[in-house]
Amino acid sequence: MNLFDNTLRDGGNVVGHGFSTELTVSIVKGLLNAGIRDIELGNCKGLGAYEILGADKAPSDQEYFDVLQPYLHQGRIGMFMLAKCAREENIQKAAAAGLNFLRVGANAGDGAGSVEAVKLVKAAGLICRYSLMKAYVSTPEELAAEAKMLQDAGVDKITIMDSAGTMFPQEASAYVKALKAAVTIPVGFHGHSNLGMSQANALAAVAAGADEIDCGLLGMARSAGNCATELAAATLKKEGYLPDVDLYKLLDYLDTELIPAMQPYGYHVAVNPTDLMLGLSGCHSNFLPMFRKVAEEEKVSLLRLIADVSAIDRKAPPEELLRKVAAMLK
């Protein structure tokens, strides 16, 4: 099971059409440092959209290519591309820049018209991902048949996109099961939070056999946002997945760098790292002032203190216990 972070593509909707090169580098480094290697970035409308669609409230594709060079060998980094924007010249430039993949996107039911885009990506020597956008307009059986056709056309990985955030967990499960029965390539799930279901749908998708979950740091994405990367990491690690993801490094990056960087944009963080850790550890927020006090005085990580103390006593941890644990954290 794998996380596929879309912050730097879908999250670009929060700031225009894409993040600045400076923030792009910051986020790539934060993800890689936390052990998240699969990263989609660039213009929120995809490769070529700057010129073809006039999505110019972002750096150009070439500017993104340039700043990525030091990091490409550290992960599996690529871009999205709408099938209607597929141009051989742009695809060849992406390959020459060293990208790992392009993810072709088209609405469910439009796969036959996307085969040429898939062939161009494969001819360039890139991994071809594919997004079945608005997956809910097809039945699970129809979507599975389309996925099989796309696999036969050369697609390497395929994603079920709940683009409007309309699915319930049982629906996410049904789509995943149908595709897993029809194809042998990895199947991913991409959920939005319009009904507050993205996290529940992600867990249901994994339980149904999904190989990958799309997510975005702080839930950043179009409309109500995506399944938050940090929430997906926390809950899936609790379920025994993602052994290589360092949740503490991820949350520290959010606390110290990304959340402050998003303040000028007025972005609201629904679940901050401290509240996430309270929930993950089963620690009541009534104890938070005491935890903050001890963490500050003992100069230890607040999040680790919450987790380690709660593993011992979640009901009524005394300050003495907090200081004893803090001493072990030093």
Domain with CATH 3.20.20.70 in the chain: 2-265
Separation CA 246–CA 230 (nearest Å): 10
- Give 72-115 pLDDT, tens digit per residue: 999 999 999 999 999 999 999 999 999 999 999 999 999 999 99
Which amino acid is present at 190?
Answer: H
The chain-wide mean pLDDT, for the chain, equals 98
Handedness of CA 45, 208, 185, 132 (dihedral sign): negative
- Give 113-134 pLDDT, tens digit per residue: 999 999 999 999 999 999 999 9
Q: What is the DSSP string of 242-287?
A: -TT--HHHHHHHIIIIIHHHHGGGT---SS-HHHHHHHHHT--GGG
Return the CATH architecture of domain 273-329.
Orthogonal Bundle (1.10)
Separation CA 34–CA 37 (nearest Å): 9
Domain with CATH 1.10.8 in the chain: 273-329
The CA–CA distances, whole Å, from 303 to 29, 249, 283, 296, 310 equal 21, 11, 11, 12, 11
Fold of 2-265: TIM Barrel (3.20.20)
